Amino acid sequence: MPYNAHELAELLAPASATDAAALITVGLASTAYLLRGIAWDRPDPYQRIWFERPQLRDGATTRQPKATRNIAEKLDEANKDIVIFWGSQSGTAESFANRLARECQVRFGIAALSADLSDYDAHTISLIPTSKLAVFVLSTFGEGDPSDNATGFWEWLHQESRAEVRLPNLRYAAFGLGNSNYKYYNRVLDDAVRAFDGAGAQRLILAGKADAADGSTEEAFHDWKDKLYDVVFRQQLGLEDRHVGYTPGLSVVEDPSLSPIGQQKVLSGLGAKARSTSSLVKDLKIKCARDLCTSPEVRCLHLELDLAEHPELRYRTGDHLAVFPVNPDAEVQLLLRGIGMDEVRAATPLLITALEQGVRFNLPSPTTALALFRHYLEVCAPVSQDTIIELSTFAPTLDARDLLLRIGKDKESYATFVASTHVTIGRLLSLAAPDTTWTDLPLSYLLETIPPIQPRYYSIASSSAVSPKTVAITIAVQDTPLPGDSTIKIPGLTSHYLLAQAESLNRNTTTTTTVRRPDSQNTAPPEPMSIIPGQHRLFASVRQSKFKLPVLGTTPVVMVAAGTGIAPFRGFILERARLRAVGKPVGRMIMFFGCRWREGDCLYREELRRLVWDMEGTLEIVTAFSREGGDENRYVQHKVQERGDEVCKMLSEGANLYICGRATMARDVGRVVEELMQERNRWSEVDVQNWSRLAKKDNKWQQDVWG
């Protein structure tokens, strides 16, 4: 029944003052919503200023264009004649590429671009015109794997349509970094050269190869570089050496008014795919540290780090932890004294900028010289032959100049020098000119020459199922004797840094856990750094790994480890033990573990005994002791051979094989396993090679090894 106007007004009239207030509130809110952006909350036309880079505010009204991923376009835009691509895992290839680019400009006047492979789309290499040159400096690590920043390039090389790609305009040279202890020595270089040559590219000189196994990487690069200069630059291009001084690529200005940014660490040189497998770098608190052995030759530590402060940081059993070291204070202070920087100047803020637009450098700014030498540049790295020659131009005395030239210009003199003298750049300055300041040595030169600190990767020794907020690592602390003088010991940068952290932590704790130095070691290594009491933290990142337990907990596994290679297997065993504790069935586990002595060198000995007991026959540990006499003088591959029937039976029935440790050990164990399977199954050589290849492809055979 319809209402008239009077009845409708009475019906809608508020029954009380509260109803009236509610109606007014609703009306005002609706009006305000409809007028938003017109009468109020209008956009601030200057809001963009808060997000612009400072250099864009003065007269610039448009954003800088996004950097091109087309290398041909980049060479044209930057007016470069040569591109030097680098694929680097530990920073050596990157350092070589940067050095080569600088020398091309200084010595021959060729404008060169040092290019991270992950910054450009690999297929655009085919667009490089014949008027330009391309150089590739490529590292191979692990079992023939490319560096993280070269994964896109690697996939392009091996794509199915690869045969259709033609490179008739590409003129190139290539140098590879590898380790002959690995089965696929310099595989990345070999595959790249094969692909380029097959696509019609013109190789300018024979590809060079460095072998880290014999310590000749620097020497091999120097020899290959000299051939590049002589054959390509001098003979083919008709260029002559220019005798010009150092031309800085960075501007370094002291500005006390600036505030240095806080310590930051990033994983540089990673492609998009590699970045997706690595977490952000975080500062982690060290929860506890303990000694694992009392060996007279090597010291092993167990460190546990707290992830609770960083809930976004997660790991899975078998992953790696990338740890950033800190340089020893003694080396830092020696370098600062060498260039005449006192404490005040070393702590003065520096503004660092690239002098050439678009050039990237991996250093913080504003910062200080003290922060750079302590946290960002590897001042303990060996000094290259080229660097010694370059330093001679800044020598403060004629005697210093003559000494550096004698060492740097003669290959044999340099080899003898580095084999018998542990020389960092700070020590070299002091050795060449004792008690003399290198006043003419620019800080910019050091920042461009000293390689950046790279993280060291450790296999995680804990289980994410057991301790998701605590990550553990196993560290071997061992000095390396110089080849030409075994009395001179070189301390490991990261291992001794972690040792100093551990000892400082336990000096300042009230718990009963202590880190003790074995009595047989009567000389302590130099203190790597001054640890601030209560600040026992380190910068680290989690990197995902394919080194994983089978998805099915019932799948049997065979594990082979030597030394600190036991780390990921500790996590594997803890995870399986947890599954069994909650009533889940688990497959048989057998671990072959190699160490030096039965007493004092068997890592996690008591813990493993308890786990064997708890697993009630599911877990067996077979040990090999390489330094004990008699019949016990065996390596881990000998134990695998002794139990060959059982190992082959497990593998034939679907067990997974895991090997972790040094590459030489993994190679020997792999050879034994292949021989056992070939003999047991009466396979041909082709059959066993096909079996091992498919096992690795299907992740039934996994390795986590290092050189």
Q: What are phi and psi of 181, to 5 degrees?
A: -70, -20
Bridge partners of residue 138, in order along the sequence: 87, 176
Query: Tens digits of per-residue pLDDT, 517-567?
Result: 333 332 233 344 444 445 689 999 999 999 999 999 999 999 999 999 999
Give ∠ CA 403-406-411 in degrees, rounded to 5. 140
Check the CA dihedral 192-195-198-201 and report its sign. negative
Note the pLDDT of residue 361. Answer: 78
CA distance 316 to 679: 37
List of domains in the chain:
71-236 (3.40.50.360), 250-273+328-449 (1.20.990.10), 282-324+455-543 (2.40.30.10), 557-706 (3.40.50.80)
Which tokens hold the place of 209? 């190869």
3-state secondary structure labels for all residues of 227-264:
HHHHHHHHHHCCCCCCCCCCCCCEEEEECCCCCCCCCC
Q: Which residues contact 470 (CB under 8 A, 6 or more apart)?
A: 287, 304, 305, 306, 307, 462
> How far apart, in Å, are the Cα atoms of 233 and each of 104, 113, 128, 228?
9, 16, 19, 7
Judge contact between 14 and 20, C-beta under 8 A: yes
Buried b (16+ CB within 10 A) or exposed e, 508-544: eeeeeeebebeeeeeeebebbbebeeeebbbbbbbbb
Sign of torsion over alpha carbons 523, 525, 530, 532: negative
Cβ(299)–Cβ(517) under 8 Å?
yes
Q: Strand runs (DSSP E) across 505-564, as ranges?
A: 537-543, 557-562
CA dihedral of 208, 667, 472, 577, whole degrees rounded to 10: 150
Residue 571 near residue 461, CB atoms below 8 Å: yes
Tokens of 198: 């097959």
Q: Are 129 and 135 in contact (CB under 8 A)?
A: no
Distances (CA, A) of 512 to 303, 516, 606: 15, 12, 18
Q: How far apart are the first and last CA of the chain?
A: 93
| Residues 408, 379 contacting (CB under 8 angstroms) | no
137, 260 contact by CB (below 8 A): no
β-pair partners for 620: 590
Question: Which stretches in the chain have pLDDT values below 70?
Answer: 1-65, 160-163, 244, 262-276, 294, 296, 358, 508-535, 597-601, 627-633
* Joined tokens for residue 631: 């019949």
* Contact status, residue 476 vs residue 303, Cβ threshold 8 Å: no
Whether 542 contacts 315, CB under 8 Å: yes
Q: Is the peptide bond preceding residue 366 cis, with omega within 30 degrees of 0?
A: yes
Instruction: Report how far residue 652's alpha carbon sits from residue 648's, in angstroms, rounded to the nearest whole number.
Output: 6
Contact 140, 183 (CB under 8 A): no
How far apart (Å, rounded) are the C-alpha atoms in residues 418 and 612? 48
Residue ranges of alpha helices (H) inside 339-396 are: 343-346, 369-371, 385-392
Task: Give the torsion sign (CA, 676, 679, 682, 686).
Answer: positive
Residues 6 or more apart whose CB falls under 8 angstroms from that of 583 comprise none
Is the sign of the CA dihedral 689, 692, 697, 698 positive or negative?
A: positive
Task: For residue 572, give the nearest of 706, 455, 702 by alpha carbon.
Answer: 702
pLDDT per position as a tens digit, 670-681 = 999 999 999 999
